[in-house]
């Protein structure tokens, strides 16, 4: 198993926790592929952390001054990982921490389950370490009647049945296990793995719907050992870039999926209108996201994938 990670404007404190945890489990994966988007100083932060992790020989670092985004960046890294013989790839956020043995358990559970599916572990909130009321960060992706996706069990008290596997509508992109067979099936049928049009945010939710259309499942494995220090949770607003991209990508998803977009159509359309009005008159920082989505709607609509 290889691991891919896209890093944009790294927070040294948060990223150091992730790199340190991977250094402690370096025997459980083959290569760590890193794409650093940003300045030379950002690259130096990553290089310093990798050098102190005792896994430098396993790390491939790529640096770009432009930002390919989460979707395109991981697509690029995954292609090269599979080209060099990886049997599976774990797409990982730079704000995750993994305990010893967790990667091996996840891979073993997925292999035993044996389905043509995307897999992901139950994620525990990192800020709940040492708290008796430790809580879920995600147990997969669900959808509301208004066409908004959410993380299953987010914020609920942490409790898992080790090894239990459940079907869900999608897997969080924070920690997503992709086999070579599944990657090939999705790319061959739709032309891409993550949709490059999304840049970041919502691309994992769209992937889940597109994969299921093609007969590829989404399966969450209940297991210990995967921690996520998330800054954007649930329906919270107030962060300019996530809010802008969230508004933009809602409409990109609508045009990509067409009538296959989850939710009850009247409520979905009402929510679309609310998002437009809110971005125009209340959350003005999100308005460029809405206008950019409409500017490319023909490209998105006519590039729609019509799976079964």
Per-residue pLDDT reduced to its tens digit, 56-75: 999 999 999 999 999 999 99
**119, pLDDT greater than 90:** yes
**Percentage above 90 pLDDT, the chain:** 70
* Separation of alpha carbons 247 and 49, rounded Å: 34
More confident residue, 246 or 57: 57
**pLDDT category of residue 307 using cuts at 50, 70 and 90:** very low
Tell me, what's the pLDDT at 308? 36
Which residue reads 């404007």 in tokens?
A: 9
**pLDDT category of residue 234 using cuts at 50, 70 and 90:** very low
| Domain boundaries 2-228, corresponding CATH code | 3.90.550.10
**pLDDT category of residue 145 using cuts at 50, 70 and 90:** very high
More confident residue, 153 or 301: 153
Q: Where are the domains of the chain?
A: 2-228, 240-302
**82, pLDDT greater than 80:** yes
258-282: per-residue pLDDT in tens? 888 898 889 999 999 999 999 898 8
Q: Strand pairing partners for 219?
A: 119, 167
- When the pLDDT of each residue in the chain is averaged and rounded to a whole number, the result is 91
**Percentage above 70 pLDDT, the chain:** 93
**207, pLDDT greater than 50:** yes
190-200: per-residue pLDDT in tens? 999 999 888 77
Task: Give the E-state strand segments of the chain in sequence order.
Answer: 2-8, 32-37, 59-64, 88-92, 96-98, 117-121, 123-125, 136-138, 141-143, 149-151, 165-167, 175-179, 217-221, 226-228
Structure tokens at 113: 């389950």
Q: CB neighbours (10 Å) of residue 236?
A: 10
Q: pTM value?
A: 0.90
Tell me, what's the pLDDT at 249? 86
* Separation of alpha carbons 95 and 82, rounded Å: 24
**131, pLDDT greater than 70:** no
**240, pLDDT greater than 80:** no
Short-list 269, 149, 262, CA closest to 205: 149
- Half-sphere exposure in the Cβ direction for 201 (13 Å, CA): 22
Short-list 107, 73, 76, 307, CA closest to 207: 307
């Amino acid at each position: 198993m290889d691991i891919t990670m896209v890093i944009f404007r790294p927070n040294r404190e948060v990223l150091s926790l992730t790199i340190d945890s991977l250094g402690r489990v370096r025997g459980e994966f083959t290569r760590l592929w890193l794409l650093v988007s940003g300045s030379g100083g950002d690259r130096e932060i990553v290089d310093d952390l990798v050098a102190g992790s005792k896994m430098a020989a396993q790390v491939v670092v790529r640096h770009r001054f432009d930002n390919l985004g989460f979707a395109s960046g991981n697509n690029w890294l995954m292609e090269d990982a599979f080209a060099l013989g990886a049997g599976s790839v774990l797409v990982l956020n730079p704000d995750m921490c993994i305990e010893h043995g967790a990667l091996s358990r996840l891979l073993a559970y997925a292999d035993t389950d044996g389905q043509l599916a995307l897999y992901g572990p139950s994620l525990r909130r990192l800020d709940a370490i040492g708290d008796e009321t430790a809580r879920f960060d995600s147990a997969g992706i669900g959808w509301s009647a208004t066409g908004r996706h959410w993380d299953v069990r987010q914020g609920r008290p942490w409790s898992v049945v080790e090894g239990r596997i459940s079907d869900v509508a999608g897997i969080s992109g924070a920690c997503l296990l992709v086999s070579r067979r599944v990657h090939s099936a999705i790319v061959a049928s739709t032309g891409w793995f993550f949709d490059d049009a999304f840049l970041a945010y919502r691309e994992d939710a769209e992937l889940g719907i597109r994969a299921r259309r093609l007969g590829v499942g989404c399966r969450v494995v209940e297991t210990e050992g995967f921690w996520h220090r998330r800054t954007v949770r649930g329906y919270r607003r107030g962060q300019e870039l996530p809010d802008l991209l969230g508004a933009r990508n809602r409409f990109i998803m609508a045009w990509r999926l067409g009538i296959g977009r989850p939710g009850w159509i009247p409520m979905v359309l009402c929510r679309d209108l609310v998002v437009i009005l809110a971005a125009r008159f209340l959350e003005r920082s999100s308005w460029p996201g809405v206008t950019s989505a409409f500017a490319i709607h023909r490209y998105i609509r006519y590039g729609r994938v019509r799976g079964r």
